[in-house]
Amino acid sequence: MAPVKVTKICCIGAGYVGGPTCAVIALKCPHITVTIVDLNKARIDAWNSPDFSLPIYEPGLVDVVRQARGRNLFFSTDVDKGIEEADLIFVSVNTPTKKSGVGAGFAADLNYVELATRRIATVARSSKIVVEKSTVPCRTAESMRTILEANSKPNCRFDILSNPEFLAEGTAISDLLSPDRVLIGSLQSPEGIDACESLKEVYANWVPQERILTVGLWSSELSKLAANAMLAQRISSVNALSAICEATGANIDEVANAIGYDSRIGPKFLRASVGFGGSCFQKDILNLVYLSESLHLPEVAAYWRQVVEMNEYQKRRFSKRVVDTLFNTITGKRIAVLGFAFKADTGDTRESAAITLIKDFQSEKAFVNVYDPQVESEQIWMDLQEASPLMPLETIKKQVSICSSALEACKNAEAVVIATEWKEFKDIDWEAVYAGMNKPAFVFDGRLLVDAERLRKIGFRVTTIGRPSAV
Ligand code: NAD
């Protein structure tokens, strides 16, 4: 058997990964028809919207979709048709952490992966290459294969590949156009290697050969968890050092810079902050913790769990610093929270540090003004409601207001908290912000974004991560 020449791709899941990834494949492979399907009609309608009001914000994404949509890129709710027509299917559905049940809080919820796999098994009438794009626990491909083989029709074979996605939200399009590497995992059987070649050929349309790594299936699945765990571990390490800096008078920027010069460490991803967020880091580490526990490796589980615990500690430590600095009480005080997305250049709020901070400020009976340039009000209310399920939304709305500009959010506030590193917060008219605030006016920079000295000259009292509290 020779590798199949891929001409039709279906991607199940039109989210932050499936949408941009397959839009870029369509852009770079005009000879391949790419259909992205999703059960969520509102999401598909947004992908198809005539004015390109796409369901996710990502720099450069509109341009890519504009070029390929209607040519060889299609978005549809007809999952079955997408599956039936494709020769290669990406499974790019969500794999959240289980919130209840056995193993709650740690295990990945593979329900969406299983449902998508069962759908493929039920609908497919010809052979398919099925590609895990979702981040999954090691050996998930085995379960998928069992489901597919138990339900396959005569003359219908399924080859499973793992092709985890390493894009970062906010830079997804440039990451996809010029990836550090593309990883493809397959069984080492002749059929597995052929399937791997088929997918490799797709990426070879724009990714240099030496950046396409082919490995065994289990190594590929584990590599994705490992990459996210190592990245998050780096953030937690630098954040742990930031606490020591605050207590000693050392400066985390200087420390990070000094250690980053070591070529074994390198300068990237050494920025202290209020903590990491996003849908992946915490979930993937908890996944690794669960895997380690299932493999009876409690010490390994404890090691990785500490990375998440350090992150929680960093967020709480920051909230406490705000309260302590504001004379040990924020009751009745107004706090402006600038940024609600978990990082700049995305509208994604999953596990955003801002949610924890606002909840902490609410519990201290402060009033909170929130502003984010990309996150819709509806999303903010949904997240705050989810964070305090027992509190009626009306009560939340008495304490929290959503503002339409940073300046409006800061008006009459005692303190400004920078929760997301949006560039516009660096460039706001800080003199005007100062003029509109109650005095003394405080800034808490959770992202090491602003020029603290400049703000101090205006009159602000500035507190940043990794430096002693300032006046
Ligand atoms: P998402 O929630 O944005 O999108 C998943 C989509 O799948 C949803 O729109 C949902 O409606 C759809 N879906 C679920 N089950 C379906 C089914 N049976 N049929 C059709 N559609 C279905 O999630 P995401 O952020 O795109 O993440 C997808 C996967 O990629 C996850 O495993 C995640 O861990 C991984 N990942 C995410 C990122 C990231 O930055 N977001 C990066 C790398 C990897």
Query: In angstroms, rounded to a whole number, what is the distance separating the alpha carbons of residues 276 and 299?
Result: 24
**CATH dotted code for 308-464:** 3.40.50.720
Mean pLDDT, rounded, of the chain: 96
**Is the predicted pLDDT of residue 104 greater than 60, yes or no?**
no
Which atom, in ligand 1's list, is nearest to the CA of 136? 32
Which atom, in ligand 1's list, is nearest to the CA of 116? 18
Helix (H, G, I), strand (E, B) or coil at 389: coil
Do the first three CATH levels of 8-207 and 308-464 match, i.e. the same topology?
A: yes
Query: In angstroms, rounded to a whole number, what is the distance separating the alpha carbons of residues 102 and 109?
Result: 11
170 lines ligand 1 (CB under 6 A): no
Asked if the 8-207 domain carries CATH number 3.30.450.20, the reply is no
Give me the mean pLDDT over the 150-165 stretch.
92
| The predicted structure's pLDDT at residue 283 | 93
**Is the predicted pLDDT of residue 97 greater than 90, yes or no?**
no
Query: In angstroms, rounded to a whole number, what is the distance separating the alpha carbons of residues 310 and 317?
Result: 10
Give the whole-number percent of the chain exceeding pLDDT 70: 98
Q: Whose CA is nearest to atom 27 of ligand 1?
A: 94
What does the DSSP assignment read for 247-281?
HHT--HHHHHHHHHTSTTT-STT----S---SSSH
**Does 401 show up as a binding residue in the annotation?**
no
91 lines ligand 1 (CB under 6 A): no
- The tokens describing 28, both together, are 């770079």
10 lines ligand 1 (CB under 6 A): no
- The tokens describing 458, both together, are 């205006």
Q: Whose CA is nearest to atom 23 of ligand 1?
A: 94
Give the pLDDT band (50/70/90) at residue 470: low
Using alpha carbons, select from 382, 358, 359, 381 the residue that is nearest to residue 369: 358
**Is the predicted pLDDT of residue 106 greater than 80, yes or no?**
no
117 lines ligand 1 (CB under 6 A): no
* Residues acting as catalytic residues: 280
Specify the residue for token string 């349309």: 205
Q: How far is the CA of 70 from the centre of ligand 1 (A)?
A: 23
92 lines ligand 1 (CB under 6 A): yes
Query: In angstroms, rounded to a whole number, what is the distance separating the alpha carbons of residues 278 and 225?
Result: 14
Q: Whose CA is nearest to atom 30 of ligand 1?
A: 134
Q: How far is the CA of 43 from the centre of ligand 1 (A)?
A: 12
Which atom, in ligand 1's list, is nearest to the CA of 95? 32
What does the DSSP assignment read for 128-165?
EEEEE-S---TTHHHHHHHHHHHHPPTT--EEEEE---
| The predicted structure's pLDDT at residue 471 | 47
| The predicted structure's pLDDT at residue 27 | 98
**Does 249 show up as a binding residue in the annotation?**
no
Query: In angstroms, rounded to a whole number, what is the distance separating the alpha carbons of residues 220 and 210?
Result: 17
Phi, psi of 95 (to 5 degrees): -130, 70
Give me the mean pLDDT over the 296-324 stretch.
97
Q: How far is the CA of 134 from the centre of ligand 1 (A)?
A: 7
**Is the predicted pLDDT of residue 177 greater than 50, yes or no?**
yes
Give me the mean pLDDT over the 192-217 stretch.
98
**Is the predicted pLDDT of residue 432 greater than 80, yes or no?**
yes
Phi, psi of 259 (to 5 degrees): -75, -30
The two beta strands, 158-162 and 182-186, are antiparallel
Measured N-to-C along each axis, helices 61-68 and 18-28 cross at an angle, to the nearest 10 degrees, of: 50
How many Cα atoms occupy the beta-carbon half-sphere of 300 within 13 Å? 14
Which atom, in ligand 1's list, is nearest to the CA of 166? 43
Give the pLDDT band (50/70/90) at residue 103: low
Under 8 Å between Cβ of 273 and 235: yes
Query: In angstroms, rounded to a whole number, what is the distance separating the alpha carbons of residues 260 and 104?
Result: 38
Domain edges within the chain: 8-207, 308-464
Q: How far is the CA of 216 from the centre of ligand 1 (A)?
A: 23
| The predicted structure's pLDDT at residue 352 | 98
**Does 138 show up as a binding residue in the annotation?**
no
Give the pLDDT band (50/70/90) at residue 155: confident
Give me the mean pLDDT over the 112-130 stretch.
97
| The predicted structure's pLDDT at residue 2 | 87
Instruction: Give the range among 41-50, 92-101, 193-202, 414-423 with minimum mean pLDDT.
Output: 92-101
94 lines ligand 1 (CB under 6 A): yes
Under 8 Å between Cβ of 349 and 355: yes
